[in-house]
A and B are shown apart, each in its own frame.
Chain A
Amino acid sequence: AQSVTQPDIHITVSEGASLELRCNYSYGATPYLFWYVQSPGQGLQLLLKYFSGDTLVQGIKGFEAEFKRSQSSFNLRKPSVHWSDAAEYFCAVLNGQGGKLIFGQGTELSVKP
């Protein structure tokens, strides 16, 4: 069965520091992968997606992610974190049967001043 694992429930980084959020997926075929961000009381905003092609994907707000098939990973990175990046981040894979996103449990990011 398809699944997504985000090993880190909560991460705290200092403002200006680099960030890497981990995501591992289980999927038989070539996955369609996504990273979403959710601020408190809000819906999900798409940061970036990977469908095919270049394995390094650029997204909004200075985020990027790298697809590594050999490691079944799709980690999210940002070189310098801003206080406004504090939120919950979700990795997701699109189920091949259509229309269904399978989400990880989320990683809550806190940013220290």
Chain B
Amino acid sequence: KAGVTQTPRYLIKTRGQQVTLSCSPISGHRSVSWYQQTPGQGLQFLFEYFSETQRNKGNFPGRFSGRQFSNSRSEMNVSTLELGDSALYLCASSFRQGGGDEQFFGPGTRLTVL
């Protein structure tokens, strides 16, 4: 069974631009969560999607948004990029929504904002 895939693996953007990251979950998984990883703040939860609906959201500004499609694939969008948005963005999928189930992580997208 293929694992979680994320595209692209690397991105370089400049301040003020926007970016879209993509995540394809493991086949049959319907929950997708996104995390931001930085050296200073560590791993922080962004949001979770299940059945095309956002079920949970972390403490990030409205510039961070996401969506999930009917095939469970998810996208994350960051608008008006800031230098502090440089991070590794990790996507995780699980079968059930809301926990009680392990999350499988993708390799991440490394975003650099110049």
Give the segment of B11-19, B61-69, B74-82, B98-106 that binds chain A.
Answer: B98-106
For the complex, give the distance between the alpha carbons of A68 and B90 in Å.
30
For the complex, give the distance between the alpha carbons of A46 and B4 in Å.
13
**Interface residues of B: mostly helix, strand, loop or mixed?**
strand
Interface size class of B (residues with CB under 8 A): 20 to 34
A residues within 8 A CB of B102? 34, 46, 49
What is the distance, in angstroms, from B110's C-beta to the closest C-beta of chain A?
A: 8
A residues within 8 A CB of B106? 43
Within 8 A of B (CB), among A53-111: 90, 92, 94-106
Interface size class of A (residues with CB under 8 A): 20 to 34
Picked from A41, A43, A99, A104, the residue with its CB within 8 Å of the CB of B48 is A99
What is the distance, in angstroms, from B58's C-beta to the closest C-beta of chain A?
A: 7
Asked if B103 and A101 make an inter-chain contact with CB atoms under 8 angstroms apart, the answer reads yes
Q: How many pairs, one residue from A and one from B, have CB atoms within 8 Å of each other in the complex?
A: 67
Asked if B45 and A100 make an inter-chain contact with CB atoms under 8 angstroms apart, the answer reads yes
What is the distance, in angstroms, from B21's C-beta to the closest C-beta of chain A?
A: 13
Asked if A44 and B99 make an inter-chain contact with CB atoms under 8 angstroms apart, the answer reads no
Top 4 A-B pairs ranked by shortest CB distance? A98-B98, A99-B48, A43-B105, A103-B43
- Known A-B contacts: A100-B58, A101-B45. Give 9 more (CB < 8 A): A42-B108, A44-B90, A44-B92, A46-B102, A96-B99, A98-B48, A98-B56, A99-B55, A100-B56
Interface residues of B (CB under 8 A from A): 4, 31, 33, 35, 42-45, 48, 50, 55-56, 58, 90, 92, 94, 97-100, 102-108
